[in-house]
Structure 1
Amino acid sequence: MTQTVLHIDSSARYQGSTSRSLSAQIVERLGADEVIRRDLASPLPQLTENWINANFTPADDRDAVQRDLLALSDQLVEELKAADTIVIGTPVYNFAVPASLKAWIDLIARVGLTFSYSEAGPKGLLEGKRAIIAVASGGTQFGSDIDFFSGYLRHIMGFVGITDVHFVAADALMADADAAMARANTAIDALAA
């Protein structure tokens, strides 16, 4: 069976980025047949009123300008749909995810494409996928009271239907980098391909 991985990095740093290093190790460990690469260091656009209006216009009624406004979002959704496993490398900036990753989330969380509404509430449409999130933080400990990123990312993944979510955390690197990297490498070694 072929496996497709969507590999997303959101660190603003290219050199010396722990989250980039960890996400690359995870992708290598998975040994995927195909890897779709999305680097968020090149910023994605923020949502605008025109984008929102285009998004809520029925697809058959959209004009060329609206279709153009949604083209990148459509592409990001297709990348997500094509993947069996999503690997996200993210640093922790100011106790949360980088703005670049939040912009990606805003562009892929689309009613009718990645989730739907029902009488029972929202339902994710991307079931059967797995997400592995590599997190690097200087001072924020994973799972602590000031960890505002892991619960958010787990919730967003579940919101679009991805409930098989694993974290590889190199947390509190500034306190003990060697121990943090050892924990992260152990978690990577434990991942099933």
Structure 2
Amino acid sequence: MINTLGHLAMAPEETAILDKILARHAKDAGPLIPVLQDVQRQFGYLSRENLAYIARALKIPLSDVFGTASFYAQFYLAPRGENMVRVCQGTACHVQGSGGILAAFAAALGIDAGETTADGKFSLERVACVGSCGLAPVVMINQQTFGRLSPEDVPLLLAKLSMPLGEPQQKAHDQPQEDAP
């Protein structure tokens, strides 16, 4: 949304949060990256409105702020899903078939790497290396590492994530049996 001054508009609460973050870094020499990190930590990503506000407040051209935010892989310019699925594409994982695992996640979620599902539940990322080469191929879902996977494992992993929190997982032999008449 654009206000009457031609600036992208934000809610007053969002502006107040940004002002606190900017004040915290006011004395830093080159505060852009720490400010971007704090804003992303607060909102989950860096919106266009946030970037424009930061540029004005720090008196840095918006193109420089956007260039920095888009250069570093740690920054996200769009909302991310509740569950982050990161498929390792490092050498060990690649040789062990991580490309097929990435394709299986993409097909199951209906998105490509770098995208988020329409319901906001999942984001899919291709990453260079997660440092678990001995478990190749590796996928990280949120902060949990899964190794020695195959494309056939993808539906089970997604089913576990789709289960409501706190709901116990039952194995097939634990399922309640219907009483015989």
Is TM (by shorter chain) over 0.5?
A: no
Query: Greater helix percent: which structure?
Result: 2
| TM-score normalised by length of structure 1 | 0.26
| TM-score normalised by length of structure 2 | 0.27
Query: Greater strand percent: which structure?
Result: 1
Q: Which one has the largest radius of gyration?
A: 2
